[in-house]
Amino acid sequence: MILGMDTSSDTMTIALFDNDAVIGEYTTNLKKNHSVRLLPAIAALMEECGVKPANLEKIAVAKGPGSYTGLRIGVTVAKTMAWDAGIPLVGISSLALLAENGLYFSGKVVALMDARRGNVYAGVYQTDKGAMKNLIPDSHIALTDLLEQLKQDGETKTILFTGTLNEQICLTITDILGERAVFASSDYTYSRASSLVKLANKLPGEPADNFVPDYLKLAEAESKWLESRRSE
């Protein structure tokens, strides 16, 4: 039995997996505080599915990148539950979860999260033997730099974009890639914990004490603090 959760963006999604099947899933895509909603949602889903904490064999969580606050909420809950139960914790890239929306797309799939100031968190994936393969490692990068890299790949196939697809990001993508760019419909631009638990089922996990989120970039306050320390 696996419990999975992702709070790395505005989406809060949780799921339960047992006997090679998702037995329950709860997903909201709202700009609301995950900190007051996550634990009640987990409790409600577990009760609805007849699952007790003692039944859990593994916890899965989106490990980042994403919202610093959101990531900390999900990771803290996941680590606490895994530690209390003495069971493994599996971390899955938030961008890999977004890329699962393009599992049946034949070309490259680009998962994006807005990182502000013209930057994005991005990962490039493609289906390989029924699973998503990471072609370009997840990174914090200027959107235009990423698009120029994709433009020069020597291919003509369309590229599917999913994740944060606001007007400015879509305009920038179209300006550089033209008709090669296609955009996922709104129903396929956020992650689902059902994908998270399926991926986690294939991995052994690690002790909760060893787990750290993957921010890809320091928070602005942390970055400024480190810079001030270097200048002393």
Helical ranges in 49-136 per DSSP H: 68-85, 94-99
Residues 80 and 57 in one domain: yes
> How many CA atoms lie within 13 Å of 116's alpha carbon, on the beta-carbon side?
5
On the question of pLDDT at 113 being above 60, the answer is yes
Note the pTM of the prediction, 2 decimals.
Answer: 0.91
Expressed as residue numbers, the domain containing 214 is 2-94+191-228
Residues 121 and 71 in one domain: no
Comparing CA positions, the residue from 209, 144, 199 lying closest to residue 177 is 144
**Model confidence at 27, in pLDDT bands (50, 70, 90)?**
very high
> Span 158-171, mean pLDDT?
97
Residues 72 and 118 in one domain: no
**Model confidence at 218, in pLDDT bands (50, 70, 90)?**
low
For the chain, percent of residues with pLDDT exceeding 90: 88
Contact between 85 and 121 under an 8 Å Cβ cutoff? The reply is no
Question: Domain count of the chain?
Answer: 2
Residues 8 and 80 in one domain: yes
Output the domain CATH number for residue 50: 3.30.420.40
Give the model confidence (pLDDT) of 61-112 as tens digits. Answer: 999 999 999 999 999 999 999 999 999 999 999 999 999 999 999 999 999 9
**Model confidence at 155, in pLDDT bands (50, 70, 90)?**
confident
Comparing CA positions, the residue from 73, 54, 62, 78 lying closest to residue 199 is 62
Residues 31 and 18 in one domain: yes
pLDDT on residue 225: 40
Residues 6 and 37 in one domain: yes
**Model confidence at 219, in pLDDT bands (50, 70, 90)?**
low
On the question of pLDDT at 174 being above 80, the answer is yes
**Model confidence at 221, in pLDDT bands (50, 70, 90)?**
very low
Residues 171 and 102 in one domain: yes
Q: Residue 96, exposed/middle/buried by CB under 10 A (0-12, 13-18, 19+)?
A: buried
Residues 105 and 170 in one domain: yes
pLDDT on residue 224: 45
**Which residues are CB-contacts of 54 (< 8 A; sequence separation ≥ 6)?**
85
Q: Tokens 């433009």 — which residue? A: 151
CA dist 100 to 12, 109, 168, 195, 232, Å?
Answer: 16, 9, 24, 7, 45
Q: How many helices (H) and strands (E) does the chain have?
A: 7, 10
Residues 145 and 198 in one domain: no
What is the overall mean pLDDT for the chain? 93
Residue 187: DSSP 8-state: G
Contact between 134 and 122 under an 8 Å Cβ cutoff? The reply is no
Residues 48 and 74 in one domain: yes
